Structure 1
Amino acid sequence: MTISLQYTHITVNDVDESVAFYRDALGLDVLNDVASGGHRWLTLGSPAQPGLGIVLSDPHAGRSQADGDALQELLTKGVLPNIVFAADDVDAAFERVRASGAEVLQEPVAQPWGPKDCAFRDPSGNTVRISQAA
């Protein structure tokens, strides 16, 4: 038996605004775009990891009003889990994302535990890290 990650979800305020960050700044490909009940689920991926989808959706997509409201509150506070991407050249990735106008949280730095990484906020305030192995 084998098991692997197929999808991971990122909650965003506005799918259209966020796709520009994830597609244009990070270079991910749009794999699927599904609308239902006034909400959208947009799946992105990378040729470097076929079979892995990153799904963007708003807090109320597929959830009750109360659950969506609670998730929106966590998103607004900026306390949802971050996402970490791997890159073979973190400096080039940093420059590409910075050029998009994304909010820089940390310029590339070699961490004491090994990797060199940097951090940004996506348009919804989620922390996005980019890491390069030592």
Structure 2
Amino acid sequence: MLLVYNKPMPKLDIIHYAVKNALIKDGWTITDDPYVIQYRRTTLYADLGAEQPIAAERPGQKLVVEVKSFIGASKIQDLKEALGQYDIYRYLLEETAPDRKLYVAVSAIAYKSFFTQDVIQLIVNRHQLPLIIVNIEVEEIVQWIN
């Protein structure tokens, strides 16, 4: 959600806490909840900021994670909105925090039922959309897609 000036922060996605807990279980330290993207007079809120400790598997890596449940009436519309939001955040992060990699986190159920379709695979691959696939029930990361 694009927010300008002092408007309220957006409502959390229904899988927000499951994704957050999955990142923590995977060894990430949550640094921001939400992650504030400030560019000149515009303020946007991505869902999470996270970092890996130096001794971990991905040492010193920093992430910004946008959480999406894909439970709307039209999953294609949800994808269009997610891609647009991803592009906006990516462009602003390139200016404000180039050391952070942006990911979209989705549930394993949404991934299996929607993201594995041929047309969606084409779009996601062409867009080069980095994904974190999370098993919401056990709050664990199933797959990273770069």
Compare the two structures and name the one with the higher strand fraction. 1
Compare the two structures and name the one with the higher helix fraction. 2
